[in-house]
Structure 1
Amino acid sequence: ESGRSAIIDSSIRVTDNGRESIHRKVFFIFTLYNSSNHNDQLKLGASSPEEAARWIHSFQEAALKGGPRPGNDVACSKSRWQSFRLSSSSESNHNDSIDWTLYPTTKMDRVTSDVVAPSPWTIFGCQNAIWLCVLRLSNWQWGDHPAIMAVGVVDGTSEAIFQTLMSLGPSRSEWDFCFYKGSVVEHLDGHTDIVHKQLYSDWLPWGMKRRDLLLRRYWRREDDGTYVILYHSVVHKKCSPQKSYVRASLKSN
């Protein structure tokens, strides 16, 4: 099988560009660029976030070794990788994407945070093996909206669960009983988009109108393989409230 190889030296940087839809197929994109010349860059894509993360890590390790010298070349087969374009865009366009590889997440000791340290979360219920918790801070007052957390164990890989949670197609209703239909209103960048979700009214008290949500959705993959998905309600000119729905509001931090 034919392939391509290149020398990776200490001037090479990697930017994680997130998801991008190309010919109706989702790819996970990252860009190699020269730190001394941002116009010298190459955009690559992988079919899964796990594969993209492995290649990003390989490029980072090769760049840290310096070069050029034997062992600092990275090879990739033509059949597994597709170069989408060799961009000559300006530095300002390159900076539109957040380089998460430059900002490692500071992690607390798992034993201390999960077992020993007291938690501000209080369990108030359990349904279908999902623990429901509420967070009430010391300055919480009646009328404030408390933060709610659901904790459960799902039998599956983190990548498969991530893909399932990001889906807005008909398959979502197989596990999300509130979900009626959804769509992407606007794609902001590889990690952020605006999504519209319409919900069934079966789970609401009788006589209440259906709810819908217009959300800014942001995601990222941590170095340890953990996925983070955040939602926050927004207003968008392309998706005004509908008469048959009440626009619900969601806050997250």
Structure 2
Amino acid sequence: MKNILLAALAAIILLPGCVKDDQYEGPAVIEQITFNPTSPMANQAITVTCKISDLNGVTGAVLKYKVNSGQQTSVTMTEGNNRVYSALIPGQVDNADIKVTIEADNEKGFKAVSEEKSIKVAPPVLVYVNECDPNAKAMELYNAMTTSVDLSGWKIRKDGSVEAKDNWTIPSGVTIAAKGYLVITQDPNGVTGFTFGMSATKGFSYTLFDANNATRDFLDNLTNKITAGASPNTIGRATDGAAQIVLFSVGSMGASNATGTR
């Protein structure tokens, strides 16, 4: 009888341990899903990270994302320290809505699926190549936004050329005020201004790229070429940010194009 009681007591003592082990047989726990940056610009890649916990061992994790109404894309996640996994979503267009889920498999064959998370790409940054003065070799940028814009690392390209001499990067620390104007003049050394030319007789085009190489504006004076002629003539948009390119007999560099004379 004593042996029976001891066996029964041992079974009772061991039972909670067995029950406890059974409770942990299931899918992994996916938590702490984060995005970097949290407010991406167009063409800016997004790093997605999460923490995946599983006593049975994770055999793989996959990031699944969908942009707007497009097809779902899968990216294998990479394991880092402390059970943190990460994957990269390539840069997307302005205003893109991105929906994200994460799946994780473990050694017991269970699949965990996270709750859906979303992130939105920022709306367009409205900065324009607004007016050009070929005689002064000067270009005016206009910021149509209600907030200032940091132009550090933005680029201006002449005539669609990829040659270094036809591309200029705006230096770090240069900003343009909300609803403001910034006049940039030619600098052969490329320190304070662009190095390329600006013809009063041959026409020109300028493409403006942001720091992530997204196209922000394109001023085309090649397709329907307007020659500027002599100073004080300038070439620019009919009104600030407008599509129509016109000749001003008296320009308004650094001020609203509405104040120019046509």
Query: Shared fold (TM-score greater than 0.5)?
Result: no
Q: What TM-score do you get using the length of structure 1 for normalisation? A: 0.20
Larger Rg, first or second structure (1 or 2): 2
Q: Which has the higher helix share?
A: 1
Q: What TM-score do you get using the length of structure 2 for normalisation? A: 0.20
